[in-house]
A and B are shown apart, each in its own frame.
Chain A
Amino acid sequence: MLKYTIRRLLGMIPMLILISIVVFTLAKLMPGDSLSGEIDPLNTNPEYIAEMREKLGYNEPLPVQYFDWITGFLQGDFGKSTRFKVPVADVIIEKIPNTLFLGVMSLLITYILAFLMGMYSGRKPYTIGDNAIAGVNYIMLAIPSFVAAVFAIYFFSFHLNWFPFGGSVDILVEEGTLDYWFSRLHHVLLPALVLGAMSTASYTQFLRNDIIENSRKDFVRTARAKGTPLKKIYNVHILRNSIIPLVTFLGFDFAALIGGAIITETIFTYPGIGQLFLDSVTSRDYPTLMALTMLLSFLTLAGNLIADILYGIVDPRIRLD
């Protein structure tokens, strides 16, 4: 397992180099640059601007600029955010806890809902309940998250006043107190519900189909012949088999956990990675944008690796070495 992991990690290196070239090129291809964010905004003297452009390396050939960026990146220097004037790493690290909190909450909601619905549907396929679950799931899947988020804010925050409109915490509460954590939970709940409840479809339907398929397998008949109660057959024998393909999704989820939800975070003005990403695009904060894209690429690769390792754990037929 360790050997396999190391081999896979080494295999990521060429992939990441390629990604970095693409990310850098795309950033450079975009119209405009972040020069204006790095110079004195009050000095409009063309000579000053030309001098700064030369000094900051904007006139160097692209390969040289790439090389400068990537060497700094490898040494842990992600550059300076042209918007916040602080190192990119600081900006990102500041946002990660919020996003992680939202990600974990929404994922928990997805898992709980999807497992309950999937197991019910799988056990009673083609019934009214199953069809209702499928209907609700597909409607949720079809509704764009920005529509759902706006409606959720309108009903639950504006009309019912159950949840705050946005932000991650009430500014009046003192940090570290119980009230503070309670307030954070209160703020995260609505975006988490929107995110979590909207994305149950794939898990639910996948689990349902796999349970139906497995319930026709010979080993189920064997378990029945042993006198195992039907409930235990579904909850142990079949479920344990049906979890295996779901591990694939888990890999994607891992990247989403830190990558954040761009649209939902923006609508709820929830200060996380997703919102930072969008703001970096609109304010041409390319160092932050490139660092974030690299981070997401790495997380996706890492998520796939984690999924593959998990396969080896949940499925005894797969041995990694």
Chain B
Amino acid sequence: MTGNYTTKKTTPLLQVRNLQTGFKIDRKFYNAVENVSFNVDRKQIVGIVGESGCGKSVMSLSIMQLLPNGIGKIRGGEIDFEGLNISELSDKKMNKIRGKEISMIFQEPMTSLNPVFTIGYQIEEVILNHESISKKEARLRSIALLKSVGIPRADKIVNEYPHQLSGGMRQRVMIAMAIACQPKLLIADEPTTALDVTVQAQILELLKDIQETNDMSIILITHDLGVVAEICDEVIVMYAGKIVEKATVDELFNNPKHPYTDLLMKAIPKMDEDVEKLATIDGLVPSIINMPQIGCRFANRCPKAMPECLTVTPQLGEVEPQHEAACLLYDESWPAGEERQREGVPVL
């Protein structure tokens, strides 16, 4: 199943194994994330890409145990952080990890900060949650943090309120808050989606800088493959709650295997091509209520779909060194795929 290239190294910082997260809709549970397994090594940046509704955010919220109370629930699997299974921790114990060991920044900087508290208060809060230092020291720390994320007049900004800052500035504040206790892992859930392009680049650069200076690992959730190419070491492609492909960034971009990844790549507009219409993937991600129980979940949108794709569920398996994909086309045990390849049908 899982490639053994990761196990050769030291224990990864984060190991997610067979994670299943479900949502309760009309008293029935539906899985939004199914059998997701991956590792994040120390100082590594892992990108998770996929369309809206593919389970990226749910997965990251599962790691933090921030799923909406009573509706979302982890139904199976393990999340090992530094060898400790954090998926079963109580809220109280989890509070010691959130913000200190693992922290998170969100997509919407405009609404992610509390409008009625000063920037300073909100940064100090995370420090005071985890360290026993005086408010005065915390204030000095937060000014230093704001400076380190590139906010000018930091000593004034600490006394200002979120609405007085621009979106980019607020995202910087969110980053300052997230790195305040020097966490080992930062989960960035579409950190640049709500920002304009020039600011996006600045924020990404900032994240990369902080990652290097703090020796931090990052899980970067995005639907922007450009962002992934820019800063990630490894990429996970998700579709309809499952991982469909997993590879190092160079490998994935040079040699995409899964038809879905390939179509995602083709959907990126190219600067040097003059096209009338941008490439798209027809159809929609199936909603979690009527998710196909067997077969490949991408089959109905896949241009290379075979009849078997509707009846056989593909498993994630190694297709190249350090490259895994879940597609029957590469499943050696499945004659149809082999046959197809033998017949000389171009794989992609």
Contact = CB atoms under 8 A, between A and B. Distances in A.
B113 A225 contact: no
Interface stretch (B7-15, B18-26, B124-132, B295-303): B124-132
Contacts of B108: 218
B92 A229 contact: yes
Given A241-B114, A316-B115, A226 B98 contact: yes
B111 interface: yes
Interface in B232-249: none
Contacts of A221: 66, 106, 112
Interface in A211-264: 217-219, 221-230, 237, 240-241, 244
B112 A240 contact: no
A255 to B, nearest CB: 27
Interface string A185-229: 000000000000000000000000000000001110111111111
A224 B66 contact: yes
A53 to B, nearest CB: 62
Contacts of A225: 64, 66, 98-99, 103-104, 106, 178
B115 A222 contact: no
A159 interface: no
A216 to B, nearest CB: 8
Nearest to A214: B114
A47 B96 CA distance: 93
Nearest to B180: A226
Nearest to B127: A226
A230 to B, nearest CB: 7
B117 interface: yes
A317 B116 CA distance: 8
Contacts of B117: 237, 240
A122 to B, nearest CB: 14
A226 B116 contact: no
Contact of A226 (B91, B99, B161, B163): B99
A227 B111 contact: no
Interface residues of B, number: 31
A317 B125 contact: no
B174 interface: yes
Contact of B114 (A222, A227, A244, A314): A222
B200 interface: no
Nearest to A230: B91
A241 B115 contact: yes
A314 B117 CA distance: 10
Contacts of A226: 98-99, 103, 125-126, 129, 177
A237 B117 CA distance: 8
B106 A228 contact: no
A240 B116 contact: yes
A33 interface: no
A237 B163 CA distance: 16
Contacts of A222: 106, 112-114, 174, 177
Contacts of B161: 316-317
A316 B66 contact: no
A54 interface: no
Contacts of B184: none
Nearest to B118: A316
Contacts of A223: 114, 125
Q: Closest 6 interchain pairs by CB?
A: A227-B99, A227-B98, A226-B126, A218-B111, A226-B99, A219-B114
